[in-house]
Copies of this chain bind each other. A is one copy, B any other.
Amino acid sequence: MRLRRAVRSKNAVLGIGDDCAILRVPAAHDALVTTDFSLEGVHFRRNWQSPECIGHRCLVRGLSDIAAMGGRPIAAFLSVALPRELPQRWVDRFFAGLLRHAEKYEVELAGGDTSQSPAGVLADITVVGSVRRGKALRRSGARVGDQIYVTGAFGESAAALRLLTHKKIKRRDVFPEPRIAVGEWLIEHRFATSCIDISDGLSTDLLHICEESGVGAVVNAAAVPVHPSAGKLRDGFNLALHGGEDYELLFTAPKNSRIPGRIASVQVTHIGEITSGSAVRLSQNGRARVLIPAGWEHFRRDERQNRRR
């Protein structure tokens, strides 16, 4: 299978067809690079989502990391291994979903690798972007007293997963959007002291900010925006707090910053404050308890520790 050239970015000098792609990073900018797996049976199931949705989500993993640094994507590279028996129609629809999303964000699919798969559909997406030199939003800049903000709402992907695993529904497509324009706005207005995208879950990713910044945090439970589809479920709040793959941004800003209620047409909500110490706490009904992260990465860590025993 040859990858097709579908989207052209002005910063992709040479795309598919040579040993490497050639990309031009704009003057006074650095390159951003991120890479993320989408593995059948681990990150998705073919009978739970449409091929278009799987392709879309494969790319959004990478784009969202670029957004979290305040960058602009230039090009994507897709390594994809396909099982022998996979219908060509599935492959075409997967690419259609991925390329439609690439086009929307002017990202060129500039290369990759193809292979036969030993088991299931195996995809790995690399996204290269650019950011003004020295201006990238990092995880490590949060300071005591900074206020914590999030974009959008939480729990939609986790709610779908819950309904699918409990066999309440057979299929559910969720198409998250990467918050590229929000990240760029944050760099332009110099408000954010730190930023991360919520891929592993709000509780886990806030802990990443705290760990990298050497601080603690308190989250106001009542303020956490729960997605309507999670809100319908009994434990929707927990899904919003710990479920992953929301691809919203969490950022911190000094206390007196005037953060608007919407940035680039996306809702922005104030959910808490950076504190001293290292614990992340949840303030609910006047009491604060330690928020134990239960997102995807911590699940993985536990898995790994079990293995080593």
Contact = CB atoms under 8 A, between A and B. Distances in A.
Contacts of A33: 20-21, 23, 75, 77, 110-111, 126, 128
A77 B34 CA distance: 8
Given A33-B75, A35-B79, A79-B124, A22 B113 contact: no
A42 B115 CA distance: 8
Interface stretch (A65-73, A233-241, A266-274): A65-73
Interface stretch (A24-32, A150-158, A283-291): A24-32
Interface in A113-135: 113-120, 122, 124, 126, 128-129, 131, 133
Given A33-B20, A77-B126, A129-B20, A119 B119 contact: yes
A114 to B, nearest CB: 8
A202 B279 CA distance: 59
A14 B33 CA distance: 10
Interface stretch (A163-171, A184-192, A299-307): A299-307
Nearest to A85: B307
B126 A35 contact: yes
Contacts of A113: 35-37, 124
28 contacts: A18-B139, A19-B34, A19-B66, A19-B69, A20-B32, A20-B34, A20-B66, A20-B69, A20-B129, A22-B30, A23-B30, A24-B31, A31-B31, A33-B75, A33-B77, A33-B110, A35-B77, A36-B79, A37-B81, A37-B113, A42-B117, A42-B118, A43-B115, A84-B307, A88-B307, A114-B300, A118-B120, A122-B122
Query: Which 7 A-B pairs give the minimum distances between C-beta atoms?
Result: A119-B119, A19-B68, A124-B124, A20-B32, A41-B118, A19-B65, A23-B31
